Amino acid sequence: MQNWLFLSIAIVAEVVATSALKSSEGFSRPLPSIIVVVGYLIAFYCLSLTLKTIPVGVAYAIWSGVGLVLVALAGWWLHGQKLDPATMAGMTLIVAGILVINLFSAGSSH
């Protein structure tokens, strides 16, 4: 169960870092820039801990898929980016793929 906690922390840290990346304005603003660096350090460290027990393909699929959806939602909420029907459909397919991997893959290591 600890492996899933580390994966969750990795996802949240990556989403925070990626969301701050836009606000860093090319690393010209100190606080958002620090958030980016610290967030990515936490994300990759926790992802590396996750890979001790979860196969890399499964962990990366979940990390990148959930991260993509959360970053898109953060962009909508924080930066006013539009989520059109095609974006919503694509994100729904990504979530469906993550569910298929988690529920039916023999390599998902629950």
**What pLDDT, on a 0 to 100 scale, did the predictor assign at position 32?**
96
pTM, whole model, 2 decimals? 0.84
**Predicted confidence (pLDDT) per residue in 93-102, tens digit:** 988 988 888 7
* Mean pLDDT within 56-68: 89
d(CA 47, CA 39) in angstroms, rounded, equals: 12
* Mean pLDDT within 22-45: 96
> If you average pLDDT over every residue of the chain, what do you get?
91
Instruction: Tell me the pLDDT band of 67, cut-offs 50, 70 and 90.
Output: very high
With 70 as the cut, is the pLDDT of residue 36 above it?
A: yes
**More confident position, 60 or 49:** 49
3-state helix, strand, coil in the chain (%, to 5): 80, 0, 20
